[in-house]
Amino acid sequence: MENASSVRVQVKPLAKAQGTSAKSGFWLVVLGAALWGVDPLFRLILLKSITSAQLVLLEHILIALVVAPILWKNRRELLGVGWKQVGALLFISWGGSAIATILFTMGLANGNVNAVLLLQKLQPLFAIIMARFLLKESLPRHFSLLFILALGGTYLLTFGFSIPFGHWNDFIQVGSLLSMGAAALWGGSTVMGRLMVGQMKYETVTSLRFILALPLLLVVTWNEGAAWHLPGSASGITAFSLNLLGQALLPGLLSLLVYYKGLTTTKASVATLAELSFPMVGVLLNWIAFQQIITLAQAVGFILIWAALFAISRQNNSSPA
């Protein structure tokens, strides 16, 4: 679940090699991000039985079983991989796939679902900042003002129009903080992912993302020490299994295969706007399935974040490649 950002990285042109045009790549990013929006439909139901770490571990095990043959087929791509690529892959798998997904899952369980979904649009801002320090990229013009604008939108998504002073616990909203932590990790993971899809096939990057995360998830789940409260009835097990399978294959594996395929030919700044399909689909389904209507403050906050991202994207679109 990582969103594209307004960064420039040196990648090899893959459009011709993989048969994807820039236009179709854009719509693949839209589709991949839209599939992330169905995530809460499965994840919130599964959280009634197991913990966040247990859910993410089971999800990754299922996906790893599916993608293992793909990685074996493309194993020659692993030859000659340097430490820089290893570091990028570990950041993608451990940070973007394992830890970020746990934080996002905990955010859904401990906060307002709409706010958690909409706060994911902060990912490009985190990615731009990380690219500045890690890749020595220059910041967009007027970035300080745009960042303040986005922070204002984040405030409205988290607190609404109220002033949360007086009690520290009122100021710190657990779900929102967890969501922003996930956004930071996914934003940084996008920088690494955009780099890697220029050096490996998108199927290989997707496979490594899930397989490399397994050891860390096993350790996290083991240290958590929580009991596994699986359904006891046959019907309960069936419903749990179907939801877990849907979670792993739709917003998990399929979305990222489509997303990375589109990202090979889509500028990160353009992909940022394409990914607006993620929170919009998520909020719409959350309204239909869980009757959580977006508030006026959340709508205003989302517009402020979108305006900041749009201004940044316009700058990068007008810059030379």
Strands (E) located in 110-228: none
Q: Please say whether the beta carbons of 103 and 183 come within 8 A.
A: no
The answer to the question of residue 2 being in a domain is: no
Other CB atoms within 10 A of residue 65 CB: 12
Sequence-distant contacts of 147-151: CB under 8 A, at least 24 apart: 147/308, 149/304, 149/305, 149/307, 149/308, 150/122, 150/125, 150/304, 150/305, 150/308, 150/309
pLDDT in tens, 165-221: 444 454 457 787 888 888 889 888 877 877 787 788 888 988 999 999 999 999 999
The answer to the question of residue 3 being in a domain is: no
- Spell out the alpha helix ranges (H) of 76-118: 83-90, 100-110, 113-118
The answer to the question of residue 7 being in a domain is: no
The answer to the question of residue 11 being in a domain is: no
The answer to the question of residue 6 being in a domain is: no
pLDDT in tens, 41-72: 888 889 888 998 999 999 999 999 999 999 99
Q: Please say whether the beta carbons of 310 and 149 come within 8 A.
A: no
The answer to the question of residue 8 being in a domain is: no
Number of domains in the chain: 1
pTM: 0.69
pLDDT in tens, 222-261: 998 888 888 878 888 998 999 999 989 888 889 888 887 8
Q: Interhelix angle for 39-46 vs 277-290, to 10°? A: 50
Q: How far is CA 116 from the centre of its chain?
A: 12
Domain, as residue range, for 156: 20-317
